[in-house]
Copies of this chain bind each other. A is one copy, B any other.
């Protein structure tokens, strides 16, 4: 899948600037644009590359409060909640983690009122524990 140093260089470059052109990457690593294109196509097909995302500032979209919520669920509710959760637009990402049916999610909400409503909604299904984000120190 990731064959050699050139693949790693391409991924390293794309990671931080997914809008870079093949030509630009090629100049950087000493390869023709078409070779870069073919390598990237292979990395996409083998799902080494899982997508190209744009980082948008939630604050500038009117979502001024971000938080991590840790939540444990009863076993019987777990899978139904996971389905319900997919329709919550507040959730930026969510992972299942070790511990008794535990989830960690990152959310973006308008304000503390919205946060409260969101927590109340979660509390119907489990025990959410919230930690509001003060600042992002590292973002890769």
What is A's interface to B at a CB cutoff of 8 Å? Answer: 1-2, 11, 14-19, 46-57, 60-61, 66-68, 82, 85-86, 91-99, 102-105, 131-140
Contacts and interface: CB of A to CB of B under 8 A. Distances in A.
Nearest to A51: B55
Copies of this protein in the assembly total 2
A67 B105 CA distance: 13
A134 B60 contact: no
A131 B105 CA distance: 13
Nearest to A139: B93
B96 A133 contact: yes
A56 B2 CA distance: 11
B57 A48 contact: yes
